[in-house]
Structure 1
């Protein structure tokens, strides 16, 4: 069998780069071609299926072929690589092939179904009588629909609901993400099991491939959902499901692989910063089990093994395949699975961290294969298993920072998947400018589950005054600049609102129900605390006076925006990644219409900018500190220092600038929304080249800029570690103090710029 894999792949790679460019260019054409004939045993004649050769998911930065034979990221028409990144680069490819491998035992006999360069799956479902459907029928093609499609798209009009294609509650085709491709295939024909020569498992797979039209992390991810059904008439014991891939990251012979066990993440990266396709900045490609199969104990299985091998060591028998999936060598031994550093036998090969250089790392770059596997589980007749995997790309400045970028994208994608993709929609296309230009408009208002909207970022000027927070809004000051909570440490947070008591026809806050668990005691700050109130104390419920002198408690103190007191606020904020409640605060403005009433509430719509000097400045702050009750002063010393001062910046994670709509209600119990963090790869002090290790490669860069000052040619503020405007030995001493420390293990260094889920 070895000759088959090598010969096929050698043939497939001839001229595949130019052919992929042509096929991707023509991908919008709906053409199905009769499949190519592949070798079968003399006693079994394969049934040639009507293979979809030309369908490509191309909604974001990734363009990837999808077939109705199990294989994806492979171009069966040309035998060439099938995943282009970035989309539209015509010739830069990151994956040669990928597909699902499934193996188990039927009455003690190992049976296998695989998809690689040749396939043991055929288009169509398994019929009620247990026989495979006719794979020649056009109805078993790959269907492709996008948001906004209607009956003019034949795939939308002919959406195969009866075969299992997903639909909305009203029966219309369901688009997952912004683009969805769907196909059904099975392994029930004995004549197509020519790879490992086993009897069929009798499984049907309904595959949904989808992606999001986004910039940022989700723009670099393709999701693949497998609904696997046992229709073979037998219970399959000790079943394993693998995501197999031949990455070929650009140049095929210089790949290395690795895995992050805790995050179910396998990845491929270049062995050097020299690649015939990608040059000095090769990307990394990752693979993830976003959802694994359910084990016999009813608990979802994670990745249970990670295996790698090179071209020429492909499994030749069902037993070798099964051993690979179990996390063993092909002969069932453990020699290749023994950590050379610790001597420990591991199911997860090369589980170290190439970015920090720690642990068991892959060596000797070559043409790699990799397998992420989950199992074992018992697959009874009629049972279904849903497995969701992802292909994740990461692009950094070099081969190692690309791993970090892929990890960041993977963590975000997993968070979005766990939240059922409750993420903000992409921004609308820009409108043609019209004179005079309109005032700036904020990010976007969001929908409360009931359909009513009561908050918006409308009428926001984005002029925040240099807070040390990760999200202050002013590009000239704090967008991903020096912050107390750097972007790499942002977490996904959820705001949970409480009901505000109101009388019909009134538009002001009334007392909160302090027994409500989502009422928070927030830290209140005041702008202009030292000035007298601009209007007499008027405790009416009209909004224009709303300036109550008795809410000015501290007229001076640390910080420009002086801390006043802790007051109840109608929401709680939760770090949903770590299940912890966070401290909150808000700012009031001692100006006419400033709403100095001791309660947080968005600005009045259309009357005041929430950032202009005359505006309410009802800014909400989310702090990176565990929440405390009002009788707990453990955070008071830090958070009572006020805002904007010479002391260390308060631990601001997010600032929300909000306005109010006239006709909308106050919040109610059950209202909530998520803020999803878009983590970026910031560079740690002293790590000038961003490889997460401080060593002589950084030192050489330092020497190049030594002696330059702010404004000089060659001055690099990143190397000015002490911020004195000059690159000199005072920075060098700091460098020496950090030398040799990987950023994940050194007390002097910052944490890695991605949190593991």
Structure 2
């Protein structure tokens, strides 16, 4: 696989040159049971037009578990000056990040006009990539007639706009967005069989940097470029169907070496009703999450709650930054970073990656445990301190002001419950379980960070970060049962991630988890309904099973279909949103139903 293109340059050049302080474009990842908004400067979920969440799961439910998320990164230079880029909510005139790639001449610069050209998101389906590859393979195969096999085929318009190559006249990198180089000539040309290289069955791609604007956080710029690719899979697997992946390719385009560098995914979990949440983490799984403070997530502030038996929602780091090289294979042990990192004790030198070093939280509002107001406060949260420079402690609310917090016991992980059985986060001293419920905390509006570091960020260094956002809802048992369901789903997601080869989906005819079925609508009427719902089944559906799934993904009703009109009794179902699904050879039919 080669990365890059020249065709893209005219497409970008034709975009309007309006210079704005903030990114304005949006795009949705929406191939499975999650509909998630992204912006080209790295903001996730928060809609700039409504200032409300646009991260919906289950899709079409009107309910949202995440208000905002974004990448944070910070470290100090050789003079101990803090360089930091941290995006929160876009309420500032100049967010720390802006769209577009930086120059590679050492100045790490970008103009406002170039940034505006990159104020967009490229969206690609793997099924289109697979068809494109198959078409050009047919062209090169004796006896294969593309007019018969692919009648009327045209290259998707988005392939021509794929930003594979940078503008060399602006000293940008030759290769930006990754691509499948079908003819192996190093230049991107869809008319020669080349195609975007993506992961998942649907992916977005965008590039952003921290050099265009002065930083609202107060931190000095780094000169970092981030090439982001969120992706998801079209699958019947319930864990993956309600999960999206976030892949960040991070490049230091500047000339400064940063020491004691930390990177984090900032997450403002708003689980339906935002004001009744609790948070926690699973230190061993590199997972941090939110769950409801009681067993009923009510509607509030104009937002739909998840109702009784509410879900849990979290972020898990699947791939962290590299540990600083030391020319040895660091052994596995029960201390950080080896305990929850990867590549330790595997016989290879300097392939160790860091796991989560700190899970942190802070509250909506001011004070030492509230929103960071200075660059120093942001950096403190990244390195395990409170805004007032005091360490996070074990017990209570984690702050020295709480008599239930142990003043002699620093805690790497906020509310790990019983997931640190070796005391990795407390200096080897094994502790009793600590969570927000047994601490007696009142539910509220929390923000969380999953921090990885410290490491040294050299000029020109680049690395990949991968996270997953995972949703789970238990059928019974209360909020902690949903946390247990989340942990199980995270295990499934991690196992799935580990077997991926990191290559391009759609290459060699493979798309995602296998050939993506034709997704067709299934009309269930009337909707809303009271006691009965109807569907008209074509002959190919005769004998197949209709599954009705509730909002948690559980199958609550199954009926065998016959040709023609089918009437299904749903009087026994509780009011709510349901999904009807039926699978035939090569096609999956999906429809939504509201039961009154």
Shift of 1:396: 1.7
Shift of 1:210: 0.2
Choose which of 149, 157, 162 in structure 1 pairs with 2:160: 157
Answering whether residue 98 of structure 2 is matched by residue 98 of structure 1, we say: no
Q: Distance in 2 between matches of 1:367 and 1:435?
A: 50
Partner residue, 1:259: 281
Whether contact under 8 Å (1:100, 1:244) holds in the other structure is yes
Q: Distance in 1 between matches of 2:286 and 2:464?
A: 16
Whether contact under 8 Å (1:50, 1:136) holds in the other structure is no
Counterparts in 2 of 1:317 and 1:147: CA distance versus 1, 3 Å: same
For residue 323 of structure 2, give the secondary structure of its aligned residue in structure 1: coil
Q: Please list the CA deviations of residues 689-732 of structure 1 after superposition, one character each: whole Å capped at 9, or x if unmatched.
A: xxxxxxxxxxxxxxxxxxxxxxxxxxxxxxxxxxxxxxxxxxxx
Counterparts in 2 of 1:112 and 1:341: CA distance versus 1, 3 Å: closer
Whether contact under 8 Å (1:341, 1:360) holds in the other structure is no
Q: Distance in 2 between matches of 1:681 and 1:323?
A: 42
Q: Distance in 1 between matches of 2:381 and 2:36?
A: 26
Choose which of 338, 361, 386 in structure 2 pairs with 1:308: 361
Q: TM-score, normalised by structure 1?
A: 0.49
For residue 492 of structure 2, give the secondary structure of its aligned residue in structure 1: helix
Answering whether residue 113 of structure 2 is matched by residue 141 of structure 1, we say: no
Decide which structure has the larger Cα Rg and report it.
1
Partner residue, 2:318: 290
Q: Please list the CA deviations of residues 556-608 of structure 1 after superposition, one character each: whole Å capped at 9, or x if unmatched.
A: xxxxxxxxxxxxxxxxxxxxxxxxxxxxxxxxxxxxxxxxxxxxxxxxxxxxx
Partner residue, 1:320: 377
Whether contact under 8 Å (2:26, 2:40) holds in the other structure is no
Superposed, 1:135-534 pairs within 5 Å as: 135-149=114-128, 153-163=156-166, 164-170=176-182, 171-189=194-212, 191-194=213-216, 196-215=217-236, 216-275=238-297, 276=299, 277-297=305-325, 298=350, 299-312=352-365, 313-334=370-391, 336-338=393-395, 340=404, 344-352=409-417, 359-362=433-436, 363-397=441-475, 398-420=478-500, 423-424=513-514, 434=539
Q: Distance in 2 between matches of 1:269 and 1:174?
A: 36
Q: Distance in 2 between matches of 1:370 and 1:135?
A: 33
Matched residue pairs, number? 397
Q: Please list the CA deviations of residues 532-557 of structure 1 after superposition, one character each: whole Å capped at 9, or x if unmatched.
A: xxxxxxxxxxxxxxxxxxxxxxxxxx
For residue 497 of structure 2, give the secondary structure of its aligned residue in structure 1: helix
Shift of 1:198: 2.3
Counterparts in 2 of 1:231 and 1:435: CA distance versus 1, 3 Å: closer
Shift of 1:166: 1.9
Partner residue, 1:126: 102
Shift of 1:353: 5.0
Superposed, 1:344-743 pairs within 5 Å as: 344-352=409-417, 359-362=433-436, 363-397=441-475, 398-420=478-500, 423-424=513-514, 434=539
Partner residue, 1:3: none
Whether contact under 8 Å (1:50, 1:135) holds in the other structure is no
Q: Distance in 2 between matches of 1:141 and 1:61?
A: 24
Counterparts in 2 of 1:229 and 1:399: CA distance versus 1, 3 Å: same
Whether contact under 8 Å (2:278, 2:444) holds in the other structure is yes
Shift of 1:434: 4.6
Shift of 1:336: 4.5
Counterparts in 2 of 1:135 and 1:169: CA distance versus 1, 3 Å: closer
Q: Which runs of 5+ in 2 are unaligned?
A: 1-14, 133-153, 167-175, 183-193, 300-304, 326-349, 397-403, 420-431, 502-511, 523-536, 548-552, 556-596
Partner residue, 1:65: 37
Q: Distance in 1 between matches of 2:467 and 2:160?
A: 28
Shift of 1:390: 1.1
Q: Which runs of 5+ in 1 are unaligned?
A: 1-31, 36-46, 442-474, 476-679, 683-757
Counterparts in 2 of 1:413 and 1:69: CA distance versus 1, 3 Å: same
CA-based RMSD of the aligned residues comes to 3.1
Whether contact under 8 Å (2:17, 2:116) holds in the other structure is no
Q: Distance in 2 between matches of 1:374 and 1:154?
A: 39
Partner residue, 2:149: none
Whether contact under 8 Å (2:394, 2:405) holds in the other structure is no
Q: Distance in 1 between matches of 2:541 and 2:77?
A: 74
Shift of 1:33: 11
Q: Distance in 2 between matches of 1:114 and 1:61?
A: 29
Q: Distance in 2 between matches of 1:386 and 1:243?
A: 13
Q: Which has the higher contact order (CA 8 A, sep 6+)?
A: 2
Whether contact under 8 Å (1:202, 1:231) holds in the other structure is yes
Counterparts in 2 of 1:359 and 1:49: CA distance versus 1, 3 Å: same
Q: Distance in 1 between matches of 2:491 and 2:16?
A: 38
Q: Distance in 1 between matches of 2:198 and 2:246?
A: 13
Q: Distance in 1 between matches of 2:198 and 2:68?
A: 25
Whether contact under 8 Å (1:352, 1:361) holds in the other structure is yes
Whether contact under 8 Å (1:328, 1:337) holds in the other structure is no
Q: Distance in 2 between matches of 1:208 and 1:126?
A: 18
